[in-house]
Structure 1
């Protein structure tokens, strides 16, 4: 495209560029087909699989902040817990239809995320970590101490969730939970993928790489912080609502620092800045957690810590980016004369 191209040619070129970014490759299609196919795997633990989808969605929400905008957070569980409690209160007080309650949980979490983004717009580095951690701890303490409202450590009691679309009732085997969590996660993934591949998503990445240059180009860097927080919070709230609806239970642990740390570990293992990294990390983390907890119920977290050390040592960008780099180099060598 040259400076002498017409405005129509420039627009068509830009549209073609973003269209090329949005194309799905065969690996993406196979990934989602493989996840759906796990339902038919003999003796598959469908409850565990639904948890993996939920945690993958939660990790993807953090990836929007950390991987694409470069904003670290030690308090991301706050948005997860907000979505979980909104869905829980809906089920407890008569709003038992799951999909509309899920949307409400996302909207409430997004609103809190937008306000959080406004609060931390001019904060960076260690100060940003402390602010996000502090907000999470404040919210956790409020929920933990308000036993009359939240049930405290006993959790919120009396949550009722109607069958999805009035047809598919949640059962102890996790059949409905599997498909409900997978479909909601896929729909939100498609929406997030489209946003990340849009000019807004590229602006987030540009601000991560060089915020001063983006300011010089006229990009609303500070405003993008609020929007990125709102998007990430909405996705985290959806993950929390899914957990409440599929288990019909919510407790203060959904807001704990431990949950924020776990989702950060999941994202580091899978790889930030890839969207799929959170799902790869969730698969590895949750399968290992269940397997190691069965072997050593007391010391299983030691092995998770060891895995994290190994990943950081040998897969510095995470497992998925390292595999992508290796595949790119391999294809380059094959294509070389």
Structure 2
């Protein structure tokens, strides 16, 4: 009499693996607060009808911050030259418009591809070296592109920029208006779609491996994770996202200037992530809202010294809210929940 032994997949997974899978699925689900957050752009459309241009700027800055958060917040690659990809996207749309190719969706697609290509090529310079060398490489790439845009005035317009960028109606139906209404809706839709893809990515095994690389890049190869390949991929994706943000700015403003490649734009972006909280996706979005609104209000109240007050706010955030807006809020919620649980246990009769 013979007995057969099954070597297939066990019908009951290991309890530890089942718990890990359950935690992963819970983290990937959309939370009620997330649905509430994405209702805010809709409410803003009706609540602030005279500020569509400002709202568009918030949406574009949010996408730009999201692109850096993928690179810095999740993979741990600090960058002071992320405006390079933003500028590439903006100038791509400007050049397309100057040649009669002003279709918005075509501009977004080409801006994403060209910026991603620049990111892919420059990513290999980041694979060897520490954080300081990576910082210098990213800054160097941005400075080179800035000088190239400044030098080739026949193509980029130099310091005069590229005014009157031609942008055709979206899908041939929705023309950009002077009030920025269509531009705002367009920017929010693009932001949401790319955020959805980014959220799927960071909650996937690929995203979890990025967190592991950020925490301990030396240990991940022992787990079979190709660290360099992961870094190249996420850097390329982040560059493509930044290119789309630059393209949106050029399309909604119908103007491209050297400012899109400036060091100031890269530095502001890093401050936005510090303000909102890096490594959370929503941190960059909240930081963008806070930064753009603070910039608008402070420059209106005190045009000469608004940067001083903005700097003071950032210093206070670093000193008293090191996790940024989102990180501090999460710590407060967790501590409140722990206190409530402790109080409930103490009140329960033994």
Q: Do they fold alike, i.e. is TM over 0.5?
A: yes
* Residue of structure 2 equivalent to 1:6: 9
Task: Pick closer, same or farther for the CA change 1:9–1:51 going to 2, 3 Å.
Answer: farther
Q: CA–CA distance in 2 between the matches of 1:10 and 1:122? A: 40
* Residue of structure 2 equivalent to 1:309: 315
Instruction: Give the one of 206, 214, 235 matched to 1:208.
Output: 214
Q: CA–CA distance in 1 between the matches of 2:147 and 2:11? A: 57
Q: Which has the larger radius of gyration?
A: 2
Secondary structure, aligned partner of 1:48: helix
Secondary structure, aligned partner of 1:212: coil
1:184 has 2:187 as partner: no
Shift of 1:8: 6.2
Tell me if structure 1 keeps the 8 A contact 2:83–2:265.
yes
Instruction: Give the one of 28, 31, 49 matched to 2:37.
Output: 31
Give the count of matched residue pairs.
334
Task: Pick closer, same or farther for the CA change 1:6–1:312 going to 2, 3 Å.
Answer: same
Tell me if structure 2 keeps the 8 A contact 1:88–1:159.
yes
Equivalent runs, 1:82-231 vs 2, <5 Å: 82-231=88-237
Tell me if structure 2 keeps the 8 A contact 1:116–1:229.
no
Instruction: Give the one of 269, 274, 291 matched to 1:268.
Output: 274
Task: Pick closer, same or farther for the CA change 1:318–1:97 going to 2, 3 Å.
Answer: same
Runs of 5+ unmatched residues, structure 2: 1-6, 346-350
Runs of 5+ unmatched residues, structure 1: none
* Residue of structure 1 equivalent to 2:51: 45
Tell me if structure 1 keeps the 8 A contact 2:125–2:137.
no
Shift of 1:325: 0.9
Q: What CA deviation, in whole Å up to 9, does each residue of 1:156-193 have, x standing for no partner?
A: 13421011111111111110011000000000000000
1:334 has 2:340 as partner: yes
Q: CA–CA distance in 1 between the matches of 2:184 and 2:160? A: 26
Shift of 1:67: 0.6
Which piece of structure 1 moves more, 173-182 or 298-307?
Answer: 298-307
Q: CA–CA distance in 2 between the matches of 1:202 and 1:93? A: 43
Runs of 4+ in structure 1 deviating by more than 3 angstroms, as ranges, are 4-19
Q: What CA deviation, in whole Å up to 9, does each residue of 1:67-87 have, x standing for no partner?
A: 101110000000000011111
Secondary structure, aligned partner of 1:211: coil
Shift of 1:154: 1.2
Shift of 1:18: 4.0
Task: Pick closer, same or farther for the CA change 1:166–1:298 going to 2, 3 Å.
Answer: same
Q: CA–CA distance in 1 between the matches of 2:163 and 2:197? A: 33
Shift of 1:9: 5.0
Q: What CA deviation, in whole Å up to 9, does each residue of 1:20-47 have, x standing for no partner?
A: 3320000000000112210010554111
Which piece of structure 1 moves more, 155-164 or 26-35?
Answer: 155-164
- Aligned CA RMSD, in angstroms, stands at 1.8
